[in-house]
Chains A and B, each alone.
Chain A
Amino acid sequence: MSVLSEARPACSEGFAPKTVVFPPDRPLLTDGGGRIAPLTVAYETRGTLNAARSNAILLCHALTGDQYAAGVNPVTRKPGWWEAMVGPGKPFDTDRYFLICSNVVGGCLGTTGPASINPATGKPYGVDFPVVTIRDMVRAQAMLIDHLGIETLFCVAGGSMGGMQVLQWAASYPERVFSAMPIATAAKHSAQNIAFHEVGRQAVMADPDWRSGRYQEQGVRPEKGLAVARMSAHITYLSEAALQRKFGRKLQDRSAPTFSFDADFQVENYLRYQGLAFVERFDANSYLFVTRACDYFDLAADYGGSLAMAFKDTKTRFCVVSFTSDWLYPTSDSRAIVHALNAGGASVSFVEIESDKGHDAFLLHEPMFIATTRGFLDSAANARGLAPDGTSK
């Protein structure tokens, strides 16, 4: 692990995630023709795997998420990203299910990514890291699931980029996915989605400290560029109504504008804070790679342009969820998934949750979303023969 910890961004020094290392004879061959070996996958588990190994749920994290869905994140010291949904008595009930969450390939919290050491050079990969896709992320997850000795996942769930992984799992390994919850997501990245990601990447690359992606070796970090990328992305995660409610035109610690470029408005101050907090925990090159993976996602393209073919004759039970004020992955994107599943004769539920919190709603405490998830998982657990204590009936 010493090699890996050297490759971590400054913020997470001394941080030792739980990992599995796949040796060079078990490489991850990427869609882009790359080869990642050795491959380290960092992951967390909660709950207990039952004797029949039938109660495992894989949670897929979003763009800048990590394996710490619940509990305290050791890097940020904040609650896990899905604290609202994961834990004892919560919909993803750790008393009933065995929860698995891994850091995506290309990420920066323990799984091999651009900050890891390239064995060919002995230096960090940087931009020489193979461009990975959502399917590559899912391949790495499948290797982990194999390693854990789990044949069929009871459920694969996730929002946003995590939802794309859910769809990819259901398409690539239909017999290994008993139920699936793609949330606030799309089967392909839209032009608008790609456009926002490109703004973020250009902000990173325009930072003089990016150094053509070799900043690690030169002891600097493109913090300003990455912060700007996060600021612009953060706007897309919220709704106009939520911004208005939270900030409006309120001024920050002052009663009148200063006629300067200080953060006069609360919303400016908030975004600056979001940007600063983000650079502390995230690697700039990783940001380039994970946004790129989303951009390349177009599930139908792998199935002759027909999304229905991706799910043909699937036995997986689906619950698709969208949120009314999410303009990044709007309800129409979820409907396209539902139509494809229907055409393929799949068992599918679809719920659009009323919320004014924008795309981020899936991470927050939304009672109707929680009730929906609980109802869906309960009925799936019944069909799977899982007792309330997680044992196999």
Chain B
Amino acid sequence: MNVTPAANAPERPAQPLEQPRLDLAVIAEMVAPGARVLDVGCGDGALLQLLAQKKGVDGRGVELSQRGVNECVAKGLSVIQGDADTDLSDYPDDGFDYVILSQTLQATRRPRAALANMLRIGRRAIISFPNFGYWRVRAQFAFGGRMPVTGRLDYHWHDTPNIHLCTIRDFVEIVDELGAHIERGVAFDRAGAPIRFSAPWWVWNLFGEQAVFLLERGDQRL
């Protein structure tokens, strides 16, 4: 192919509207307008920006990578360098309305402690994570005999930051243990279509490639 890209490139709209990552769009939809939000593991700040634009939230972020932090601050977001495992304990009780952990739970050293801290800092917590119970993951392991590598989990066993993977059923169980309840939950299949809400857990767990849960703190403190 000897094509000059510029010559044949279709004319693009002046301001292409970037489609936010699927789970981010769902999370943004779960947050009440004007809320105080802490995004733990905020990366380059895409969700915080989305929340500021769509919901006018008062957002703060914590990000482990200095590169991510620098990008966020340069965008005008309030973000500090920190670690979900060690730095959440510095935050006061009820400092936020929502504490969000998107695609990060599985990379924490102590996920249960991180979740408990989130529900202490905010009355509500939103967590998105890749479902290890997804049928393709199960199939790769069961029939291929190899550690699974899928679209949501595209790392090899030796270079993955994901040290605490869980299934949707595992997650539902730990939420119960923490005395929190699930206010809303959404699971998506590979195509990004949500799984019917009325479907039983095992259907979610088998066909959901990723899930997003909105939790509310229980009455008793843990």
Contacts and interface: CB of A to CB of B under 8 A. Distances in A.
B95 interface: yes
Interface string A348-383: 111111100000000000001001101110111010
Interface stretch (B76-84, B99-107, B172-180): B76-84
Chain A CB within 10 A, most for which of B72, B77, B90: B90
B91 interface: yes
Given A343-B90, A350-B69, A354-B66, A375 B76 contact: yes
A371 B60 contact: no
Nearest to B61: A349
B69 A379 contact: no
A339 B89 CA distance: 10
B68 to A, nearest CB: 11
A317 interface: yes
Contacts of B92: 342-343, 345
Contacts of A332: none
Interface of B: 58, 60, 66, 69-70, 72-81, 90-92, 95
A306 interface: no
A41 interface: no
Given A319-B73, A343-B90, A351-B69, 5 more contacts: A342-B90, A348-B80, A349-B73, A350-B79, A352-B66
A338 interface: yes
B66 A349 contact: no
Interface in A302-329: 317, 319-320
A347 B73 contact: no
Given A351-B70, A352-B66, A375 B75 contact: yes
A342 B76 contact: no
A382 B76 contact: yes
Contacts of B95: 345
B19 to A, nearest CB: 24
A317 B90 CA distance: 18
A97 to B, nearest CB: 16
A374 B71 CA distance: 12
Chain A CB within 10 A, most for which of B69, B77, B81, B95: B81
Contact of B73 (A345, A354, A372): A372
A54 to B, nearest CB: 18
Interface of A: 317, 319-320, 338-339, 342-343, 345, 347-354, 368, 371-372, 374-376, 378-380, 382
A371 B60 CA distance: 19
B74 A374 contact: yes
Contacts of A375: 73-76
A348 B75 CA distance: 14
Chain B CB within 10 A, most for which of A343, A345, A354, A382: A345
B109 to A, nearest CB: 20
B46 to A, nearest CB: 15
Contacts of A320: 80
A343 B92 CA distance: 6
Contacts of B76: 375-376, 378-380, 382
Nearest to A345: B95
In the A-B complex, the 6 residue pairs with the closest CB atoms: A379-B76, A375-B74, A350-B80, A371-B74, A349-B73, A372-B73
Nearest to B80: A350
Contact of A368 (B70, B75, B78): B70
A130 to B, nearest CB: 38
A391 to B, nearest CB: 20
Contacts of A338: 80
B78 A347 contact: yes
Contacts of B73: 319, 349, 351, 372, 375-376
B84 to A, nearest CB: 14
Nearest to A346: B78
Contacts of A374: 74
A350 B81 contact: yes
25 contacts: A320-B80, A342-B80, A342-B90, A342-B92, A343-B92, A347-B78, A348-B78, A349-B77, A349-B79, A349-B80, A350-B69, A350-B81, A351-B70, A351-B73, A352-B66, A354-B66, A368-B70, A371-B70, A371-B74, A372-B70, A374-B74, A375-B74, A376-B76, A379-B76, A382-B76
A92 to B, nearest CB: 16
B41 to A, nearest CB: 16
A350 to B, nearest CB: 4
Contacts of B66: 351-352, 354
A339 B95 CA distance: 14
A202 B31 CA distance: 60
Chain A CB within 10 A, most for which of B70, B75, B92: B70
A353 B69 CA distance: 10
B182 to A, nearest CB: 28
A378 B76 CA distance: 7
A103 B156 CA distance: 59
